[in-house]
């Protein structure tokens, strides 16, 4: 047994039978099936003698067929997740797809969380009121859909999906999928929680097994304990620095070792949450005493008790093997600040000031932002408030602007009661709504003109170019909430709170002491306002209206099936140069309001991608008119002319969010294939779901041979088979001749059927008939 479990839970003796606990106090009739998982694992081990990691135990315990022979990185697993969670931006399209499947209710517990459509501007109360007004149509659609199909609905102001899930739904040993890339947050409670596109969610909501290629397992062994200014955020910032934004692709990151004991449950969730930034399928921690404490504090002692009896299946086998092993000594881990423009560019705090000066990054700090789904726990807010209190006691307030985003209504109400909110406001902070806000570009920023070079620092997870404020010259850095607070008080990006001094109101120097803060509130959590709408017992009479003239909601038309022929003379729409995230393919921010209207949101397709032909964004040559125009405009023109098109991309194409719009939009506007050097996991799956061919160069150097003027044919589609290469014929404008290249594809037999049917949803409907 894992040492942390032996030490932390030594008083509990395993017993043969497992008590049955409800998945959540909000769903008393939905039970955790620990006995079923245990039975599956016993059956699995009859033909699999190797020791298992924790991630494998959870995955294989949810297999449709426990007799499946599994090879990491090769076998496609058919799994039955315990639940689905969706945020309001992605839920619109997922619900529209589920509606078109014609089913009366979801097959598994499902929740919708309204957190993405609230723009940060004046402050929490004002911004929330404005959001409810302008998004009334969408909120009504999601609320009535939840009632009709038996889903739980968290109203705007409830909080961020991942914090709500951690507080109410996550449980050790569970398997959950969520239509948001930071769903792995629930790994802080020992759950395999995976971010997916909405089409995957529809599968599970419809009771169809969810497919996942058996991940490789990266082990991160933690020793020692965190000290001083170091925090759980610094663990994942260091891991991102080691693995880079694609180093976790196709793998689950599993943490273990005695160092885990120094981390709170919400601290572990922070680490798992930001694992999305390394491309990992998910991240998780072994069951331990800190999870028990958190479950008890959030009213789920019954789950804690059941998990204790199931604990042998909630830790890795002692001799489990990892595909890669990373070791981090928490005793020596110093705070990290990562960025700008990418979350894997790591800087130890002691070296950061030098990097700022060397790279000529703006030293004046304009804004510090704390909170988000990554760092908005009671502990985070308490530690940040302890830093702010030290400054206030010396008569000092923040020199930079300061915003605070509580992760949930429960966190907001509790820090208001216990005084942390007042302290953060007194130092100069503005408390925003319990929502995503600036983290996803929902920020009406007015302190800096668009285009001006400036620096901000956040406790968020992502800092891609323009993500927070749509300003490509905003240098965004990522750190822990306490480091963000300290630098915001100083107003200086080069300030190091471990070595540098501030000046008090009397002109005397003083040094900030390391932050302190309770892991959990001693007086318990204050639930705050009740913002939850429970599932209806019978939604058959509920009507879900979608106005045909709506600019924000649009019922879906099925994509056409494959016609059985090769794709010939496809025009290259754009050859993308360098990093192309889902933000580049389908921007968030002001475009979020169109997430339920496929045609309208398609007007943002690839507008952030850099065209390799001219180095510009949203400017491609229309091969028929000879004019340079926005990417969606050219795509629509090609579609009108009946011309199929293809996108050429670089490494890790589709990195970032789980948003399936980045796959739906190319399909809607006539795209047939995406050819790149490599894909990010979620985006590749999303493309398959929508009937687009995701292809990779067999020889990456062939990327350089193709131009934006070329025409490409895909030969041999009739013989499409798992693992089989395809041949592309390129009519090269640059070389003035035709040449052939080989490309790879990773579709299995089921995914090939999706392609033939035109989409996974089309295939589901055929199977249900």
DSSP string, 63-82: BS-TT----TTTPEEEE--S
pLDDT > 70? residue 8: no
Q: Span 60-78, mean pLDDT?
A: 96
Q: Span 273-295, mean pLDDT?
A: 97
Contact 707, 613 (CB under 8 A): yes
Q: What's 22-329's CATH class?
A: alpha beta
The predicted pLDDT at position 1 comes to 32
Question: Is position 180 annotated as part of the catalytic site?
Answer: yes
Q: Span 688-701, mean pLDDT?
A: 97
Contact 301, 25 (CB under 8 A): no
d(CA 701, CA 199): 33
The predicted pLDDT at position 399 comes to 98
Question: Is position 200 annotated as part of the catalytic site?
Answer: no
Q: Pick the more confident residue, 766 or 142.
A: 142
Q: Which of 114-118, 329-333, 682-686 is the least confident region? A: 682-686
Place of tokens 């028990």: 292
The model's pLDDT over 369-428, given as tens digits with 9 standing for 90+, comes to: 999 999 999 999 999 999 999 999 999 999 999 999 999 999 999 999 999 999 999 999
Strand 454-458 and strand 474-478: the pairing is parallel
Residue 394: which region, alpha, beta or left (left: phi > 0; alpha: psi -120 to 50)? alpha
pLDDT > 50? residue 13: no
Q: Tell me the DSSP string of 310-379.
A: TGGGSS--TT---SEEEEEETTTPPPEEE-SBSTT-EEEHHHHHHHHHHHT---BEEEEEEETTTB-SHH
Place of tokens 């009519």: 731
The predicted pLDDT at position 18 comes to 58
pLDDT > 80? residue 155: yes
The predicted pLDDT at position 3 comes to 34
The one catalytic residue among 462, 552, 636, 681: 462
The predicted pLDDT at position 16 comes to 38
Contact 490, 466 (CB under 8 A): no
Question: Is position 72 annotated as part of the catalytic site?
Answer: no
Average pLDDT, rounded, for the chain: 94
The predicted pLDDT at position 551 comes to 95
Contact 573, 602 (CB under 8 A): no
Place of tokens 């092993």: 325
Contact 105, 240 (CB under 8 A): no
d(CA 692, CA 325): 35
Task: Calculate the CA 502 to chain-centre distance.
Answer: 37
What CATH number was assigned to the domain covering residues 336-506?
A: 3.30.499.10
The predicted pLDDT at position 12 comes to 31
Contact 617, 608 (CB under 8 A): yes
Label residue 769 by pLDDT band (50, 70, 90).
Answer: low
The one catalytic residue among 376, 384, 480, 657: 657
Contact 112, 142 (CB under 8 A): yes
Domain(s) labelled CATH 3.30.499.10 in the chain stretch across: 22-329, 336-506
Would you state the torsion angle of the CA atoms of residues 7, 8, 14, 19, taken in this order, to the nearest 10 degrees? -170
Label residue 48 by pLDDT band (50, 70, 90).
Answer: very high
pLDDT > 70? residue 232: yes
317: how many CB neighbours lie within 10 A of its CB? Answer: 16
DSSP 752: H
Question: Is position 389 annotated as part of the catalytic site?
Answer: no
Place of tokens 């990892």: 322
* Residue 426: both structure tokens together: 């007194």
Element (H, E) at 757: helix 749-757
The predicted pLDDT at position 42 comes to 96
The predicted pLDDT at position 17 comes to 52
Q: Span 530-540, mean pLDDT?
A: 94
Helix axes 88-101, 760-768, angle to 10 degrees: 40
Of residues 440, 433, 487, the one with CA closest to residue 462: 440
Contact 343, 461 (CB under 8 A): yes
Place of tokens 């995503």: 436
pLDDT > 50? residue 757: yes
CA atoms within 13 A on the CB side of 625: 13
The one catalytic residue among 113, 116, 445, 681: 116
The one catalytic residue among 62, 345, 659, 668: 659
d(CA 91, CA 250): 25
Contact 182, 373 (CB under 8 A): yes
Q: Above pLDDT 90, what percent of the chain?
A: 92
Label residue 199 by pLDDT band (50, 70, 90).
Answer: confident
* Residue 555: both structure tokens together: 């019922």
Q: Tell me the DSSP string of 271-311.
A: HHHGGGGGTBSEEE----HHHHHHHHHTT-HHHHHHHHHTG
Element (H, E) at 456: strand 454-458
User: Phi and psi (nearest 5°) for 269?
Assistant: -65, -40
The one catalytic residue among 38, 88, 115, 650: 115
The predicted pLDDT at position 761 comes to 87
Of residues 701, 606, 679, 722, the one with CA closest to residue 245: 679
- For domain 567-768, which architecture applies? Alpha-Beta Barrel (3.20)
Domain(s) labelled CATH 3.20.19.10 in the chain stretch across: 567-768
d(CA 323, CA 624): 50
Q: Span 128-137, mean pLDDT?
A: 96
The predicted pLDDT at position 542 comes to 94
Q: Tell me the DSSP string of 594-655.
A: GTB-HHHHGGGBTTTSBBTTTS-BS-EE-TTT--EE-HHHHHHHHHHHT--EEEE--TTBTB
Residue 86, beta-bridge partner list: 112
The model's pLDDT over 449-484, given as tens digits with 9 standing for 90+, comes to: 999 999 999 999 999 999 999 999 999 999 999 999
* Residue 104: both structure tokens together: 């009366």
Q: Above pLDDT 70, what percent of the chain?
A: 97
The predicted pLDDT at position 15 comes to 34
Question: Is position 162 annotated as part of the catalytic site?
Answer: no
pLDDT > 60? residue 7: no
d(CA 187, CA 184): 5
d(CA 136, CA 733): 50
């Amino acid at each position: 047994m894992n040492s942390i479990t032996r030490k932390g839970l030594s008083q509990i003796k395993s017993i043969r039978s497992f008590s049955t606990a409800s998945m959540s106090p909000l769903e008393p009739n939905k039970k955790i099936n620990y006995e079923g998982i245990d039975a599956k694992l016993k059956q699995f081990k009859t033909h699999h003698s190797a020791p298992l990691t924790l991630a494998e135990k959870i995955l294989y315990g949810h297999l449709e067929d426990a007799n499946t022979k599994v090879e990491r990185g090769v076998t496609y697993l058919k799994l039955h997740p315990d639940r689905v969670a969706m945020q309001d931006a992605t839920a619109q399209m997922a619900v529209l797809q589920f509606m078109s499947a014609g089913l009366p209710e979801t097959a598994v517990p499902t929740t919708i969380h309204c957190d993405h459509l609230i723009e940060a501007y004046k402050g929490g109360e004002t911004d929330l009121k404005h959001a409810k007004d302008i998004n009334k149509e969408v909120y009504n659609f999601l609320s009535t859909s939840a009632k009709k199909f038996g889903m739980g609905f968290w109203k705007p102001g409830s909080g961020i999906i991942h914090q709500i899930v951690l507080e109410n739904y996550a449980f050790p040993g569970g398997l959950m999928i969520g239509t948001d890339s930071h769903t792995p947050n629930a790994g802080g409670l020992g759950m395999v929680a995976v971010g997916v596109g909405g089409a995957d969610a529809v599968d599970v909501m419809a009771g169809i097994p969810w497919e996942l290629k058996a991940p490789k397992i990266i082990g991160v062994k933690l020793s020692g304990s965190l000290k001083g200014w170091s925090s759980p955020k610094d663990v994942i910032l260091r891991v991102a620095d080691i693995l880079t934004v694609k180093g976790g692709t196709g793998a689950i990151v599993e943490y273990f070792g005695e160092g885990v004991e120094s981390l709170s449950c919400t601290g572990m969730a922070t680490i798992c949450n930001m694992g999305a930034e390394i491309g990992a399928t998910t991240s998780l921690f072994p069951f331990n005493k800190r999870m028990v404490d958190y479950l008890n504090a959030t009213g789920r002692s019954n789950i804690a008790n059941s998990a204790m009896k199931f604990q042998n299946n909630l830790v890795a086998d002692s001799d489990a093997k990892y595909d890669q092993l990373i070791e981090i000594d928490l005793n020596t881990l110093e705070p990290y600040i990562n960025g700008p423009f990418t979350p894997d560019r790591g800087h130890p705090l002691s070296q950061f000031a030098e990097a700022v000066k060397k790279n000529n990054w703006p030293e004046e700090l304009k804004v510090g932002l704390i909170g988000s789904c990554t760092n908005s726990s009671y502990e985070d807010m308490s530690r940040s408030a302890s830093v702010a209190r030290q400054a206030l006691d010396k008569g000092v307030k923040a020199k930079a602007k300061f915003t605070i985003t509580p992760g949930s209504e429960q966190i907001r109400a509790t820090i208001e009661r216990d005084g942390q909110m007042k302290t953060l406001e007194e130092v100069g902070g503005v408390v925003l709504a319990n929502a995503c806000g600036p983290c996803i570009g929902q920020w009406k920023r007015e302190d800096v003109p668009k285009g001006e070079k400036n620096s901000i620092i956040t406790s968020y997870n992502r800092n891609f170019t323009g993500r927070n404020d749509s300003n490509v010259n905003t240098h965004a850095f990522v750190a822990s909430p306490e480091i963000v607070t300290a630098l915001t008080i100083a107003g200086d990006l080069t300030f190091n709170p471990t070595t540098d001094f501030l000046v008090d109101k009397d002109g005397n120097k003083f040094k900030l002491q390391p932050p302190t803060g309770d892991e959990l509130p001693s007086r318990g959590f204050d639930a705050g306002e009740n913002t939850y709408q429970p599932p209806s017992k019978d939604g058959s009479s509920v009507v879900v209206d979608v106005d045909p003239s709506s600019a924000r909601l649009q019922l879906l038309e099925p994509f056409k099936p494959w016609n059985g022929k090769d794709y010939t003379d496809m025009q290259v729409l754009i050859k993308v140069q360098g990093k192309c995230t889902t933000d580049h393919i389908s921007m968030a921010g002001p475009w979020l309001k169109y997430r339920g209207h496929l045609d309208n949101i398609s007007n943002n397709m690839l507008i952030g991608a850099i065209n390799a032909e001219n180095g510009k964004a949203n400017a491609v040559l229309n091969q028929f008119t000879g004019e340079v125009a926005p990417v969606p405009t050219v795509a629509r023109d090609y579609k009108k002319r009946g011309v199929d098109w293809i996108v050429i991309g670089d490494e890790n194409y589709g990195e970032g969010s789980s948003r399936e719009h980045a796959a739906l939009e190319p399909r809607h506007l006539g795209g047939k294939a995406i050819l790149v050097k490599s894909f990010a996991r979620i985006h590749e799956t999303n493309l398959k779901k929508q009937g687009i061919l995701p292809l990779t160069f067999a020889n990456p150097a062939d990327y350089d041979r193709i131009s934006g003027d070329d025409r490409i044919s895909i030969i041999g589609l009739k013989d499409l088979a798992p693992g089989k290469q395809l041949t592309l014929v390129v009519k090269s404008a640059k070389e003035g001749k035709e040449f052939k290249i080989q490309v790879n594809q990773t579709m299995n037999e089921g995914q090939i059927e999706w392609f033939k049917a035109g989409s996974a949803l089309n295939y589901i409907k055929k199977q249900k008939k």
